[in-house]
Amino acid sequence: MKLYRKEGNILQILSFPGETVEKGDYLLVEDADAGRALIAQVIDVQFASIPGVLEELLRSLPDGGELIKGEDVDPLEIAPHISYIQDASLLICKIRATAENDGLNPSTSWLPSRSQSTIKKLPLPTLLKLAKIDGKLPIVIGGTKDSSLLTIDATSLDGRLNIITGKKETGKSHLSKLLMVNLVGYKATVVVFDLNGEYLSLGLTGDGKRNANYDKIHVLTPSQNFKLALKQLNLHVMLGILIHALHLPGTSAREFRRIWIALKEKDSLTLHELGETIRNWNCNQHVRDALFSRYHALVNSGVFTDNIAEATSLEEFLLKTREQGGAIIMNLRNTSSIDRQIVVEYILGKLVECLSSSKLKAVFLFAEEAHLYLRETYWDDIVTRMRHFGIFTTFVTNQPDTIRENIYRQADNIFLFNFTNEHDLDVVSRAARVDAETVRSIARDLPPHYCLALGRAVRDFPIVARVKALDVKTMGETRLFFASSVGQ
């Protein structure tokens, strides 16, 4: 390999046949005299612009486009040299850091010698060691191309905003399960908004037996094993549900507040009493109608109950996870859009309540396709206010444009799976810790189950890894019409 050109933080390196370098590989451009080396990542492999190649290709085609056949008497064996030159490739590399005095610095301001520099592939284990991508709480993401393991530190997710994104069926949920299981293993509290029921069997191995996490995985399904008594709710949580999930107007919300306070004073906060009170409340008929319609929405959701015995205490589940860690899976499968929003409003409100009263240290929240249940104002809340309370969110989506740009800008870690759509790649490349060329070039060619890890977890050295298999029972598979007939 030969150093050809440097423009900004882009290096162009000539590579010759036999030097197998692919996108995503790291190269070490070492200038022995300068006593330092550039660490650069290959983001694209192109044909080198060799003069005369076009003529070479054209002359093998006579009229009609069929290859002309013949014999080459080449006693000096020049032909292999022609192929050697013709097959030379140009590696477009992004400089990631400078290695100097056994350490790394992000400087790209110096120029290595073009004639004297040696260029070699930097094995990922060496890079991981140099960049100190390991840690005391390791999470093995998977295997890299050169058979080493990509291990990130669980602390790199702590207090951070993460995004897992990629096309459908590329392995996003698999990675989020992997992160989640590892976090639970390190005694963290995890809450998952499970839209497709994919996380329900995390406590079971692939063959259906209980695994080590069985007792730590709590699956809550609204209106089944997740019901709430009104007494468990704070007024501001209930108002949040009414205003944000059920779009109750301000005037009606004020009346509802009076009704709620009156019922609470009488210690009769039940659905039945709430209904009766709205019926008999002295207020404008339009307000009453508005309140009644929301009341019926609450009743029909099936989430609320007057039977204290069947009411679920989310706080209890959360406190259970405090010592040994655990995951609360909110199964939002088969839940209507409004009911989803009701549940999410309640849970986020409850989490903030528990965290602000220091009952919990912090919570890792995994939100799948959050745009389907997260209200507009929560996006900013989650990345700013709620983060300070200790809610550290991981968004999982196959529609990157549903996540707002400011979320990308503040994302600390991005786990990117394959995308081919330019628009999707454009959206992701807005992330502050990512350069657009890397995202566009590498993500487009990622095979299924391979992810490009970007950000703090990999010390800003984008690394491609095949996400390791997880021995948990697979759920959330798409129901297929032709599945049985194809198998026959």
Instruction: Give me the residues that bind another protein (CB under 8 A), please.
Output: 50-53, 55-56, 59, 62-63, 68-76, 78, 81-82, 84-86
Q: Taking the complex as a whole, how short is the minimal distance between the CB of residue 150 and another protein, in angstroms?
A: 39
Give the C-alpha distances (Å, rounded to integers) separating 201 from 76, 118, 343, 412: 67, 52, 21, 29
Encoded tokens for 389: 């309370």
Whole-angstrom distance, CA of residue 281 vs CA of residue 258: 10
Q: Taking the complex as a whole, how short is the minimal distance between the CB of residue 32 and another protein, in angstroms?
A: 21
Whole-angstrom distance, CA of residue 278 vs CA of residue 291: 7
Encoded tokens for 441: 């070039």
- Toward another protein, which CB reaches closer, 59 or 136? 59
Q: Taking the complex as a whole, how short is the minimal distance between the CB of residue 46 and another protein, in angstroms?
A: 16
Q: Taking the complex as a whole, how short is the minimal distance between the CB of residue 10 and another protein, in angstroms?
A: 25
Q: What are phi and psi of 34, to 5 degrees?
A: -80, -15
Q: Taking the complex as a whole, how short is the minimal distance between the CB of residue 3 and another protein, in angstroms?
A: 18
Q: Taking the complex as a whole, how short is the minimal distance between the CB of residue 1 and another protein, in angstroms?
A: 15
- Toward another protein, which CB reaches closer, 54 or 480? 54
Q: Taking the complex as a whole, how short is the minimal distance between the CB of residue 80 and another protein, in angstroms?
A: 9
AA identity, residue 328: I
CA dihedral sign of residues 102, 108, 109, 110 = positive
Whole-angstrom distance, CA of residue 329 vs CA of residue 349: 16
- Toward another protein, which CB reaches closer, 15 or 301? 15
H or E element, residue 369: none
- Toward another protein, which CB reaches closer, 82 or 235? 82
- Toward another protein, which CB reaches closer, 75 or 487? 75
- Toward another protein, which CB reaches closer, 58 or 486? 58
Whole-angstrom distance, CA of residue 117 vs CA of residue 31: 5
Whole-angstrom distance, CA of residue 278 vs CA of residue 1: 79
Which of 403, 451, 447, 375 shows the shortest CA–CA distance to 179? 451
Tell me the pairing of strands 149-153 and 189-194: unpaired
Q: Taking the complex as a whole, how short is the minimal distance between the CB of residue 53 and another protein, in angstroms?
A: 5
- Toward another protein, which CB reaches closer, 78 or 235? 78
- Toward another protein, which CB reaches closer, 69 or 136? 69
β-sheet bridge partners, residue 483: none
